[in-house]
Chain A
């Protein structure tokens, strides 16, 4: 036995560990260099944008961009009643300067929009005041503002201005979770009418779960059939499963419109067969049903493939062995076959569920109002309302939800138990 405290030496006297590190270093470098293009690609196209999104959801510098001196100064205010005139003075002066600014992100409009997010209806207050700000040359400034618009008498607007003057804010997360600051600056639940995002998020989770379960029910027997058929037949059927991948997503989704709409093939067939009246045509699209049907179809291959690849590795001798020991077909399936397919089920359901949570195009096309998912709202904020911070906050919440599900999943199934192929 060599003494464990003295290091083992190689023939030329260097310690073995050092020598080993030296010889493997080159290999490690080579491996790193080989992956470098991909690492860079992922960093530039994925990590940085995601990071930017996370940042944007809490960082909105409208206040400090538009009214920089006021933004800094107002933080000293204690927030009681109306602010002292010195704060108002700096606001008026900053506003007068900002009115001439045409730089993107630093216009009065930016501030007005930002304030309007938190106090709906106050956009014109800011813009109209800004137009007249240059004419106010001496105090008391607050009275001058109130003369322009009565709303400046409301302490809430000043509290809001103080809040939006901070670069970092939770306001968008509050909005994304249907909460808001009340008049005194406390965080409260938004009015029932404005409860939008949480219900949509819950609906998204629910629909994704329904879609996942339906995919599983449809995919399991198909995968079993594919894995047991002779190779030639199963290859042919496999092509049918993969065929949708070769067709554009848009084409597949619009095909469902042709199938499901009230004047569509299915309704026509049902009317022709006399199953329903001409006025009793079933609404199967532009609602949740449409979203579920077309998404199940589109996501089905993602369930079949992992299930198939796992079932393929289960030799028929297991079922035979179980039967030879006296177990009925059902018992053998339940105790022997099914448990061995769990890695495939886990992979398939996780894949379909996570894809469904973030799905965008299909619900946008066939979902109507009822079948919209959270990602459609995110897209709305990014493309239409241009409230990127709110879109980013929603996106971040979605990311966190997915990660929480992944974590729960890992606890239940174990990620190393997943088998995609």
Chain B
């Protein structure tokens, strides 16, 4: 059955434990399509890196099977898997020049030295480091080292490339630039990329699909926009982007619309995502930029809020207020050039559409 999926990578009921007591990866099922850029996103200890190491072959799966192009690879050693890998700290060989680093996987494959030179040069040009072949890795900047690491993973033309937090060691600006470069290389070469990160921005900007890991389980597997717009549970909602939490109890449930009685007695109309019955506890998730402060006409939900702090951030105002018992309710107001006569301790109306807030599983 699994022979005909056409998936580049397939995890089937994969489980992993290091000590026989704690399950680090619990029942992972995941198909990755050829040419896809899939990101495994999650906090540290969520099992995402372990999945990558199992795929690369450095950690054996305790149970289950991993398929590469529909071939089971559990018993294939890492050097026979033909997977390109970019490591967290690049793992560029310090005693070899950049060109020798790139030539390494080609030499192993017994390619003639003429072809090696050609491929190395071509790949270095691809990452715009054509002139740096003779340098030692230590003589390069962090961003350049990063690009060499990517080039080395690409040079032997693997169909699958794994990246383990490759941008973690770079500063913010360089990280953003490298995100685009990696994205562009992926688009040009059409290779399958499995990318591990704990940085949600990286995940959202680069990926075709994002798998959010927590507690050894994929919490949600969706394209980036869907992940942000329609989180399936409270963990995802809080992990991706900013999020206002309102706790209450479901009073009516009608299809995907429900009414929630908040703990302070106010009613909120919400989209029902992860609630099953009337009377369930729920946590409503609401993005700060979807909140309107003192709107011109009333919306689905209109609550009172008392401003406790106003932060000016240039492109937007960030207003912290107390709404329905939540003292850290945040609203982001876009800076449109109008004067906004907000002041501390002022009581305002906060409104939002029912479709913008999601009733999810309760969190304490």
CA distance A332 to B81 in the complex (A): 15
**Which residues of the partner chain A approach B57 to less than 8 Å between Cβ atoms?**
323-324
Q: Given the known A-B contacts A331-B108, A339-B95, are A324 and B78 also in contact in the complex, defined by CB atoms under 8 Å? A: yes
- B179 interfacial contact with A, CB 8 Å: no
Choose one: A323, A331, A336, A339; the contact of B78 (CB below 8 Å).
A323
Interface size class for chain A?
A: 10 to 19
- A328 interfacial contact with B, CB 8 Å: yes
Mask: chain A, 298-333; 1 = CB below 8 Å from B; 0 = not: 000000000000000001011011111111110110
- B105 interfacial contact with A, CB 8 Å: yes
CA distance A329 to B89 in the complex (A): 21
Interface size class for chain B?
A: 20 to 34
CA distance A339 to B97 in the complex (A): 13
- A340 interfacial contact with B, CB 8 Å: yes
- A335 interfacial contact with B, CB 8 Å: yes
Closest Cβ neighbor of A322 among chain B residues: B104
**Which residues of the partner chain A approach B93 to less than 8 Å between Cβ atoms?**
318, 321-322, 336, 340
- B305 interfacial contact with A, CB 8 Å: no
Q: Write the nearest CB–CB distance from A5 to chain B, whole angstroms.
A: 34
Q: Write the nearest CB–CB distance from A197 to chain B, whole angstroms.
A: 42
Instruction: Say what secondary structure dominates the interface of chain A.
Output: helix
Closest Cβ neighbor of A329 among chain B residues: B79
- B56 interfacial contact with A, CB 8 Å: yes
**Which residues of the partner chain B approach A327 to less than 8 Å between Cβ atoms?**
79, 104-105, 108
Choose one: A315, A331, A336; the contact of B89 (CB below 8 Å).
A315
The reply to whether B108 and A321 form a contact with Cβ atoms under 8 Å apart is no
**Which residues of the partner chain A approach B84 to less than 8 Å between Cβ atoms?**
324-325
Closest Cβ neighbor of B93 among chain A residues: A336
Mask: chain B, 50-61; 1 = CB below 8 Å from A; 0 = not: 000000111000
The reply to whether A321 and B109 form a contact with Cβ atoms under 8 Å apart is no
**Which residues of the partner chain B approach A332 to less than 8 Å between Cβ atoms?**
79
- B85 interfacial contact with A, CB 8 Å: yes
**Which B residues contact A (CB, under 8 angstroms)?**
56-58, 77-85, 87-89, 91, 93-95, 104-105, 108-109, 152-153, 156, 162
9 nearest CB pairs, A to B: A325-B105, A321-B91, A324-B85, A317-B91, A323-B78, A323-B79, A326-B108, A317-B87, A327-B108
**Which A residues contact B (CB, under 8 angstroms)?**
315, 317-318, 320-329, 331-332, 335-336, 339-340
> What would 6 A/B residue contacts be, using CB atoms closer than 8 Å?
A315-B91, A317-B88, A321-B85, A324-B81, A325-B84, A340-B95
Q: A321-B93, A324-B79 are in contact. List 14 more A-B contacts (CB 8 A).
A: A315-B89, A318-B91, A318-B93, A320-B58, A322-B104, A323-B79, A324-B81, A325-B104, A326-B79, A326-B82, A326-B105, A326-B108, A327-B108, A335-B104
